[in-house]
């Protein structure tokens, strides 16, 4: 009976974690480049009440006996990231970039590398391509934890008049005088052996975790069989599916209620036991 109290408690606690994940997904339904998460459950340790036994060797006909076990509840097995492609939205702004296929943009603060699918970029006063946090967009010359070269238009004093970005990340730009100020380097995309193993740090950023994600590898757009393209004037929206989230919300709520009911009934049974003394 006491076991059932602890089992119900573990169910309520972990269903609350699942609801936290669902709430975060719904909150980010319109966050550019957001990838939804999912909480996965697993059963907890089992207590052995009766050990198994092998069949008898005599002629009595006694067979084997299966083990008798009682579970102690459940726990969170993992909280995984769904890295599926989100829908693409047309914005008409050349510096809004969406990735079709695999890969991440890499931005740097000068020391650390951050990877993102959020393709909203700007040109700062020195001609560098930066994201909304001021981190510089880099080319594909970086590697594991090492930033690539920041992308700068012209000498840093030019006023950009026109700009276009190709599928391979090549940038074509001119200044107000009509001079070509296109950089010699392309926008880089990076892939990972296990992209679900990346660490989420907020602000649409991921960080490499060598032990789980593997090292960042630049994507060569000329490689046969690689499908990773940059679409200018588009943004990748959140891949959260609201209908799935609402269904998960309902099942999570009912699971929470059911586990709460287990605790209530167990408490009533304990009360009946105490009342036997009367």
129 and 137 Cβ atoms separated by less than 8 Å: yes
Model pLDDT for residues 4-47, shown as the tens digit of each residue: 999 999 999 999 999 999 999 999 999 999 999 999 999 999 88
pLDDT higher than 60, residue 61: no
Distance CA 232, CA 98 (A): 7
Q: Tell me the pTM.
A: 0.88
Of 192, 194, 196, 202, the residue nearest 81 (C-alpha):
196
Q: Which two tokens stand for residue 101?
A: 């296929």
pLDDT of residue 183: 92
Residue-wise pLDDT tens digits, 131-188: 999 999 999 888 777 888 999 998 878 888 999 999 999 999 999 889 999 999 999 9
β-pair type (122-123, 113-116): unpaired
In order of 4, 45, 93, 183, 187, the CA distances from 119 in angstroms are 50, 45, 11, 19, 11
d(CA 263, CA 7): 8
Token pair listed for 195: 């992209």
Two tokens, residue 122: 């700007």
CA–CA–CA angle 104, 82, 229 (5° rounding): 30
């Amino acid at each position: 009976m006491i076991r059932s109290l602890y089992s119900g408690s573990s169910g309520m606690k972990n269903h609350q974690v699942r609801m936290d994940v669902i709430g975060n997904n719904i909150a980010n339904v319109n966050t550019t480049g957001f990838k939804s998460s999912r909480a996965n459950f697993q059963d907890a340790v089992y207590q052995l009440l009766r050990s198994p036994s092998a069949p008898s060797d005599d002629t009595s006909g006694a067979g084997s006996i299966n083990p008798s076990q009682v579970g102690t509840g459940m726990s969170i097995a993992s909280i995984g990231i769904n890295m599926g492609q989100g829908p693409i939205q047309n914005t008409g702004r050349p510096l809004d970039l969406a990735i079709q296929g695999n890969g991440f943009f890499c931005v740097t603060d000068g020391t650390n590398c951050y990877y993102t699918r959020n393709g909203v970029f700007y040109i700062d006063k020195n001609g560098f391509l930066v994201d909304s946090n001021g981190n510089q967009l880099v080319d594909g010359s970086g590697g594991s934890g090492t930033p690539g070269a920041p992308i700068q238009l012209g000498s840093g004093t030019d006023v950009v008049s026109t700009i276009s970005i190709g599928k391979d990340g090549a940038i074509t730009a001119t200044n107000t005088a009509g001079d070509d100020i296109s950089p010699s380097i392309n926008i880089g995309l990076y892939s990972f052996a296990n992209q679900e193993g990346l660490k989420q740090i907020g602000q649409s950023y991921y960080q490499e975790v060598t032990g789980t994600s593997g090292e960042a590898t630049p994507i060569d757009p000329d490689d046969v069989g690689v499908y990773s393209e940059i679409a200018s004037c588009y943004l990748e929206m959140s891949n959260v599916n609201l209908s799935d989230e609402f269904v998960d919300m309902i099942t999570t709520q009912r699971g929470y209620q059911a586990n709460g009911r287990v605790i209530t009934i167990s408490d009533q049974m304990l009360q009946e036991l105490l009342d036997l003394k009367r």
